[in-house]
Amino acid sequence: MANILVDRGEPKDFIIRQRPNTARKLDDPHRLARETATDALGEAREVIAALRPLLASSGRLAAPKVAGLFGLSTAKLGHLIGSSRQALAKTPDASTIQGSLRRFERIARLRAIFSEVDFKAWLNRPHHHLDDHTPVQIIERGSAGVVADLVESMLTGAPS
């Protein structure tokens, strides 16, 4: 995969090694479309229950609750999703940010099998599929989609 990305002219710093001889592009413009496609895992009762604490009364994801779960400030989350801290404070569950928060929701699905303490420990532990970076380091680089894909693989048993 890395060779294909290099052949396409992708800069090497947009590629993260997953395992020997494999790689994943960090910023994929088609990722959002794939993330919002039919999602059977997102309809699992355990996953829905695990994500409930992240929801506002509107039923949409609330940015401050997402930031809190990930140990991020609202300003940092705003930067990562392309919004300001002020906008998130004014309308924390705005429909315009839901697509950007979806990557964080996909990562938070691990709460279906991990306690909050174990989830936060997982976020801060180096992972071999992330080149021994922690998931939170990858998220803070703006590549939450890479971590979301890893979580999906973990939960479905699909090879990564």
Domain contains 40: yes
Structure tokens at 36: 């919002």
What's the number of domains the chain is made of?
1
Determine the pLDDT at residue 42: 67
Residue 23 lies in a domain: no
Which residue shows structure tokens 């060779």? Answer: 3
Range of the domain at 85: 31-156
Position 18 in a domain: no
Any domain includes 21? no
pLDDT at 46 (0 to 100): 86
Question: For residue 25, is it within any domain?
Answer: no
pLDDT of residue 41: 66
Q: Is a pLDDT exceeding 60 seen at residue 122?
A: yes
In a domain, 19, yes or no: no
Question: How much is the pLDDT for 129?
Answer: 92
Q: What is the pLDDT of residue 45?
A: 84
Beta strands 22-25 and 15-19, pairing class: antiparallel
Residue 56 lies in a domain: yes
**Owner of token pair 């950007």:** 100
Range 108-132 average pLDDT: 95
| Per-residue confidence band for 160, with pLDDT thresholds at 50, 70 and 90 | low
Residue 130 has pLDDT above 90, yes or no: yes
Instruction: Name the DSSP class of 21.
Output: T
What's the confidence (pLDDT) of residue 157?
83
Residues 49-97 pLDDT 10s: 999 999 999 999 999 999 999 999 999 999 999 999 999 999 999 999 9
**Degrees, nearest 5: CA angle 31-12-100:** 25
Q: Is residue 90 part of a domain?
A: yes
Q: Say what the pLDDT of residue 40 is.
A: 62
pLDDT of 28: 52
> What's the Cα-to-Cα distance from 155 to each of 60, 138, 160, rounded to whole Å?
23, 19, 11
